[in-house]
């Protein structure tokens, strides 16, 4: 039985998140339903990252197995045909080794958070970015980003719903850049705590507003106290960009 790896793009606005849930449509269940229509086989797909409600993806990865032998291009096009009414697209289909696991084989997960920093409210980008209407110091935000890199106890940067047994994580890279009115924050690690990237972003925005000083970041990390970090940035500005294996 071949194992297939799929690369997925989606707009998470109207979904309860990646994971199948009883309270609404998920990315996982939508793709599984498309696979049933394509292959007449009921299977469970395994995703590389369980994105929350409202979070988007440009390069989510999942794997599944089916008995039916279908050419790769036909799987991609067939699934997209069945998903055509939803903001989900299968970008690529590959056959992988039987030991491949979309979640556990991942070596690096890269996220990008998009902020639009301007006075007017957002219209076209309303559910695609976080509109911050007070001028932010991109210089201070750029200086703050590297302070999160490395192995730390990130207990101050995880949500109350986080189920991870340990709050120690290693951030491989973290940087901020400004392109016109867009501020992009890029963060990569093998794995993250629940809402970790969004709390890091919320904290960096507080630095950009001048509410948290750059030199306080190290103390906030060392405190392990969630109340000392910034707010959790909205889900709709976050994108799962790439999974590396």
Which residues are catalytic, by number?
A: 52
Token pair listed for 206: 């507080």
The CA–CA distances, whole Å, from 118 to 130, 136, 139, 181, 222 equal 11, 9, 16, 6, 33
DSSP secondary structure letter of residue 76: H
Q: Which residues contact 134 (CB under 8 A, 6 or more apart)?
A: 209
DSSP secondary structure letter of residue 41: -
Residue carrying the six token digits 């394509």 = 38
**3-state secondary structure (DSSP) of residue 32:** helix
Angle ∠(233,238,243) on CA atoms, nearest 5: 135
For 198-237, strand residue ranges (E) read none
Rounded to whole angstroms, the Cα distance separating 193 from 187 reads: 13
CB 241 within 8 A of CB 91: no
């Amino acid at each position: 039985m071949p194992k297939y790896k799929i690369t997925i793009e989606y707009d998470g606005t109207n979904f309860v998140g990646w994971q199948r849930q009883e309270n609404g449509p998920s990315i996982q269940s939508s793709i599984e339903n498309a696979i049933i229509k394509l292959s007449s086989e009921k299977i469970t797909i395994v995703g590389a990252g369980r994105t929350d409600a409202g979070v988007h993806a440009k390069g989510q990865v999942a794997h599944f197995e089916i008995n039916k032998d279908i050419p790769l291009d036909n799987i991609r096009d067939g699934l997209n045909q069945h998903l055509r009414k939803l903001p989900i697209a299968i970008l690529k289909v590959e056959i992988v080794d039987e030991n491949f696991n979309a979640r556990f084989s991942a070596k690096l997960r890269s996220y990008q958070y998009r902020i639009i920093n301007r006075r007017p409210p957002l219209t076209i980008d309303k559910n695609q970015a976080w509109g911050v209407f007070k001028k932010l110091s991109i210089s201070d935000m750029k200086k703050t980003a590297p302070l999160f890199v490395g192995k730390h106890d990130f207990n101050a940067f995880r949500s109350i719903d986080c189920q991870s047994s340990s709050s120690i994580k290693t951030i491989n890279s973290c940087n901020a850049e400004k392109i016109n009115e867009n501020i992009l924050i890029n963060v990569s690690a093998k794995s993250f705590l629940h809402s970790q990237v969004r709390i890091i972003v919320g904290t960096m925005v507080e630095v950009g507003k001048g509410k948290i000083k750059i030199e306080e970041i190290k103390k906030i990390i060392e405190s392990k106290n969630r109340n000392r970090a910034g707010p959790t940035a909205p889900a709709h500005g976050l994108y799962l960009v790439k999974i590396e294996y």
